[in-house]
Chains A and B, each alone.
Chain A
Amino acid sequence: MNALAARRRHPAAIAILLLLGLVAVGGAYSLLAPKQAQASVVSAGDINTGKSLFLANCATCHGMNAQGSAAGPTLVGVGAASVDFQVGTGRMPLAAPNVQAQRQDTSQFTQEQIANMAAWVASLAPGPAIPGAQYTSGQNADVAQGGEIFRINCAQCHNYAGSGGALSRGKYAPSLTGSSGKTIYEAMLTGPQSMPVFSDSNISAQNKNNIIAYLKTTQTEQQVGGMTLGNLGPVSEGMFIWIFGLGLMLGCAFWLGQKAA
């Protein structure tokens, strides 16, 4: 072995070094990233506090009396469920004007503040109320029935496993992974943004609970086929096999073609 060979690096050295660097950066970020405090106290909602919160945070677009403006729709008659959905999922207050409000990991308000604003908006005109726990828990539900209703009413936009999908002009149906039963129920009840309304007179409360149970089951059940690749169908599966399957085959082909030392 001569001096040149002794100093030569192994061909995999760069790949391993890159991997180590990525793991180190990712690990450090997850340790040091700022975390949001979680509030979970729910109260009935004080209308006056709700109004002052509304004036401070929402009135710029929705108007001083929630009558709407050029920048935002009227909130008269949208009901408490709509406020709880939009603010509770962090979609409102809108971070920036865009084709569609995006779900955020955390809301900018506590549950109590949201309840106050919801109470004030609900006091303007009758609208859907925040659903109770009985039909949002996914308990005591028929999962198979929920799956059938989901596939007929929801799967065309949200994907058969609730992974979401694209609509026109940059709009999209969001992924339902990690959404709470209450959020899913409120979305069906109020029809936020592009989504149509599925009121209780269309899909009954019990059937909504069945849908929630189906979604919870698909997210937690054992994946018999192995890695789901996001449940996105042939696109992610094809990409996986093109990159990793063909990569492995190319590696074998190079090895086959190489002469033994």
Chain B
Amino acid sequence: MTDLDTTGQPSTDVVHLDEGHHIGTGGLPARFEDPGLPTHIHRMADDSPDAGRRAERQVVALFGLSMLATLVFIVAYFAIDKSVGIFLPGIGSTNALNVVLGVTMGISLFGIGAGAVHWAKTLMPDTEVVEERHPQASDAATRSAAVGIILGGGEQAQLGRRPMIKYALGGALGLFALPFVVQVAGSLGNPTKALAGLRSNLWDIAPGVSPIRLMRDPEMTPIKASDVTIGSVFHVMPETLKDSQHVLEDKGKAAVILMRLDPNQFSAAAGGQRAQAWGYQGIIAYSKICTHVGCPVGLYEQQTHHLLCPCHQSTYDATNNMEVIFGPAKRALPQLKITVDDAGYLVAPEGFHEPVGPSFWER
């Protein structure tokens, strides 16, 4: 308080909390004076030659450490075979070359930085210096000369006399922006084609074509209904995947998960009954693509019959037509109608009745 008191007399009035509002001057001065720089305190290396030499040695040692580490890096790069392993406690079996290169490069970089900082802190001048600002604008004569040069240049280039050149140049530059716009807009894809792609997948078949067999992923072997024991889960791809031109894209849309429940375990609700009717003796097949943002739904709890999505924990109820019982998904997983062919293998006689995958516009 005494620092701020311009009268030179420290305020000794004690204001108690129970006195209510106390009207006072606050002891503030009319104007704050520039306190100036604090007194400069010398460092040890400024005053003692011994301390200076010690600081010098420390800086040289840090730079020297960096040099040493760099040399080890270069030697190790050629000397250590890249397949050599090394056991490090806490890490386990790891690659010797990667460890040595990483550690030495870290030390060499840190040595340079730490040396420079230590040098600046101990030996470089640290006295406070004041540099006054100066006006940044040039004087009037220089500024009018600069305007003259620009206007004169335009005059000599005959911009005013031959305006067609001006317009043609503007047109050329303006038109040149279009290739960038076309590329960006084009990379978004053809909206009609993209929508058609979202609505179709490999399970769609034309009427009269023989049903598609369900195949194990990744073995691509057909699945007999008797192979699917109760409590089993199969990850399924359509047989037609082997003829696909765009395997990854088709896999991403056609992935199916198949499981077998005891027929008594299905819900008595309409959904559970439909699920059973579209399945085969308790075997049910659903799209594996989450209806939230399209992650593969694969975490099946055999005892609760809950199917979980690993990304955002959307949970589907396998006993009730994969209705969502938890999480951000809004729709049930689409069911694939299945039956068996003459040889006893599971087949899908028709495609999904609704688009698979995350909800999109204009469904």
Contacts and interface: CB of A to CB of B under 8 A. Distances in A.
B94 A196 contact: no
A167 B234 CA distance: 19
Interface hub of B217, B230, B303 (most chain A Cβ within 10 A): B303
Nearest to A173: B299
Contacts of A199: 227, 229, 232
Given A199-B232, A228-B92, A156 B310 contact: yes
B232 A196 contact: yes
Nearest to A190: B231
A28 interface: no
A222 B216 contact: no
A220 interface: yes
B217 A152 contact: yes
B19 interface: no
Given A222-B93, A226-B94, A201 B224 contact: yes
Contact of A260 (B44, B300, B302, B310): B44
Nearest to A157: B299
A261 B44 contact: yes
A234 B119 CA distance: 39
A251 B308 CA distance: 43
Interface residues of B, number: 48
Contacts of A202: 216, 227-228, 232, 234
- The binding surface of chain B is classed by DSSP as mixed
Contacts of A255: 117
Contacts of B232: 191, 196-199, 202
Given A168-B308, A196-B259, A226-B98, A207 B219 contact: yes
Interface string A146-170: 0011001100110000000101100
Contacts of B231: 191, 196-197
A227 B90 CA distance: 8
Contacts of A197: 229-233, 302
A153 B235 contact: yes
A43 interface: no
B304 interface: yes
B306 to A, nearest CB: 6
A256 B121 CA distance: 8
Contacts of B85: 222
Interface string A227-261: 11000000000000000000000000001100111
Nearest to A153: B235
What are the nearest 3 A-B pairs in CB distance? A156-B298, A201-B227, A196-B233
17 contacts: A152-B218, A168-B301, A191-B232, A196-B232, A196-B259, A196-B300, A197-B229, A201-B228, A207-B219, A220-B93, A221-B93, A222-B95, A224-B98, A226-B91, A226-B99, A256-B117, A260-B44
Given A197-B230, A202-B216, A222-B93, 14 more contacts: A153-B235, A157-B299, A173-B299, A196-B231, A196-B302, A197-B229, A199-B232, A207-B219, A223-B91, A223-B94, A224-B94, A224-B98, A227-B92, A260-B55
